[in-house]
Structure 1
C-alpha cells in the first residue's frame, strides 16, 4: 500500500494531520494512536489490513507530532488535551464511539480516554504499555524514588530542554539507534540511557525498518523537533491529578499485547483495573506493530471479530 496523503482536521483548538484508509467502510471506525518518538506512519502495516477487514481507519499525528499543531505551553499536552483531541476527532467524523488502538505512550492516552470519556470508546487494543495504576503519590515522584534521576521519564521532567537538544543534534543517529530489533542485553551504565543512545556511534541489533521507511521518521522529527512530543511526558504528574476524579476501572473489552523482549515491565494489577482484558504476548521487542506486523494483524483482527456485536435480528411484525 502507498501510504495515504493526509488531510488537516481542526479539532479542540489545534489542527491534526490525519491519514485514512477504508473511507468506504464509514460507520465502522478504528482510531490508531502512535507513541513517542513515532508518527502515524508507524501504523503503515495495519492500515490496509484493517481497511480490508471492513474498518474505517483513522490515524492522526497527535498534537506535537508530524505536521500537526505544536502548541508552545507544556500543559497543552496534558491528558485532558490529548484525549480531548480524540473526542473532537470522533465528532468531526460524526462517530459516537470507536475502537481505539494505541502503542507506547499512545496506549497511555487510550487507557486514559477509556476512563475519562468511556462512552466514546467501544473497545480498545493497547501495545507495549499496560494500564498504569494511579497510586497514592504522583508517578514521577514515585519513579524518582524507585529508579533515580537517570530514568528517562524523570530526566525529561527534572531537566527540561536537555534531552530535547541532544536528540535534535543527533536526530538521524538517535532514531537509527532506537528503532532496532534483536538487540543483545546490555549491562546497566551510569547516565540516562536514551542520551547515550542518541550519541552512540554503532547501533546494536538489527534495523527495524528499511532506510526509506526510517527516512520518514527522520524527516518528520528534523522538521518538528522533539520538545512537543517530550511534553507529553512532562505532564505525567499533572495527569495523575487530572485523573483523580475518574473511575479507574476500564470497563470496555480490551486486548493487551506485550512484546516478550520489551523492557517495559508487565502489569501485575492489569486484571484488577481492566477486568474484560485478554492478554497476548508476541516474540518481539518494543516496536510491536513494525517488528511483527503480520502476526499482530492476525491477533488484532481475530480479537476484533470475536468482540463484534451481532447484528440486530428483525422480528416479524405481530399479526
Structure 2
C-alpha cells in the first residue's frame, strides 16, 4: 500500500476568516496535541513520514495546509499573509480542537511561523521543534532592505518583493519542472549562476543531484500548486518587511524548550546567535540537505521523539 493511500483524508476547517485544509492522525491521543507546519513551496504531505512515529509516541497530530497552500484559502491581499495572520490561524486551530497549547514543529517557512508563534502567542506554545531555519533575529533595517544590500536584487526574497508577479507567472507556467528541479538532494558543488535561483530552476531542462521523493509523491505537490498557483505562498515573502515592523516591540527571546534540527548540507547557514535568542535550545545536525524530514525521515523521527520524551 503506498504512502499516498495511508496519508489521512483532510477536513476543511473555518478559522480566523479563512478555510484551512487540515490532516489529522492519532485522534485516540486527544489531549496531547502536536502541530506540524510545512515550508515553501510544500504541503502538509511533506510530513508524511512523521505522522506514524508521532502517533506511536502518543500524540494527536494536526497538520494544516497553511493559507495560500493546497485547498486552504488563498486571499488576494498581500497583507493577509503577515505573521499575525499566519500565527492567528494556528491559535484559532487550537481553539477549534479545544487546546490551550501544543507542541509546534516547523520546517523552512513553517519554522519561521513557529518562531513567530512562540513570540506572539507564548502561552499557546508548549515546546518548539524547528527544522532548517533558525530563529531570525530582527535586523537594524527591514529584512528585505537588509537582504537587498547584502545579496543584491537577484536574491529570490528581494526579487519576489521588488518584481511582484514576475516569478509567480514563471513558476505557474513551469510548475511540474520547477518542483521536480527543486526537490533534490546530494547536489554537486557548483558556483552560483547569475539570475534568480527559483526562476533558473523553473526553466532548467535537467535537474541536478538525486530526487528527494518518488514521482507519485511529487505528484501530490504538483497537483496542489497547479490548482492554487504560487502567488499565495510567495505573498508570505512579501510580508517580511511588514513583519519586521509588527515585531518591533515584541520580546525577541524564545523562552520555551526548543529543538533545532539542521541539515549539514543545507544552503541555509546555521545561526551563531541561536542560544542568545533561544536560551533553552538543543541542537542536532543531520547529514542531509534542506528537505530534512523527507531526506532523513528515520533520523528526523528519532531526533524528535527522543527529544520529546527525554
TM class by shorter-chain length? Answer: over 0.9
SS of aligned partner of 1:235: helix
Shift of 1:186: 1.3
Q: Normalising by structure 1, what TM-score? A: 0.95
Is 189-198 or 142-151 further displaced after alignment? 189-198
Equivalent residue number for residue 286 of structure 2: 282
Shift of 1:171: 0.4
- Distance in 2 (CA, whole Å) between partners of 1:245 and 1:60 is 29
Cα deviation, 1:55-102, whole Å, max 9, x if unaligned, reads 000000000000000111000000000000000000000000000000
**What is the aligned residue count?**
306
Cα deviation, 1:17-36, whole Å, max 9, x if unaligned, reads 00000001000000000010
Equivalent residue number for residue 313 of structure 1: none
* Residue number among 21, 26, 37 corresponding to 1:33 in the alignment: 37
- Distance in 2 (CA, whole Å) between partners of 1:257 and 1:115 is 19
| 1:141 equivalent in alignment to 2:121 | no
Cα deviation, 1:105-153, whole Å, max 9, x if unaligned, reads 0000000110100000000100000000002211111000000011110
8 Å CA contact retained: 2:139, 2:146: no
Matches within 5 A, 1:121-270: 121-270=125-274
Equivalent residue number for residue 102 of structure 1: 106
SS of aligned partner of 2:236: helix
Shift of 1:289: 0.5
SS of aligned partner of 2:127: strand
Is 77-86 or 185-194 further displaced after alignment? 185-194
SS of aligned partner of 1:234: helix
Equivalent residue number for residue 62 of structure 1: 66
Shift of 1:291: 0.3
- Distance in 1 (CA, whole Å) between partners of 2:192 and 2:14 is 44
- Distance in 2 (CA, whole Å) between partners of 1:146 and 1:32 is 32
SS of aligned partner of 2:221: helix
SS of aligned partner of 1:185: coil
- Distance in 2 (CA, whole Å) between partners of 1:185 and 1:196 is 16
SS of aligned partner of 2:260: strand
Equivalent residue number for residue 115 of structure 2: 111
Structure 1: stretches of 5+ with no match in the other structure? 307-319
Equivalent residue number for residue 13 of structure 2: 9
- Distance in 2 (CA, whole Å) between partners of 1:94 and 1:71 is 26
Following TM superposition, where does structure 1 have runs of at least 4 consecutive aligned residues deviating by more than 4 angstroms? none
* Residue number among 71, 76, 96 corresponding to 2:80 in the alignment: 76
- Distance in 1 (CA, whole Å) between partners of 2:150 and 2:206 is 30
- Distance in 1 (CA, whole Å) between partners of 2:256 and 2:180 is 37
- Distance in 2 (CA, whole Å) between partners of 1:158 and 1:265 is 24
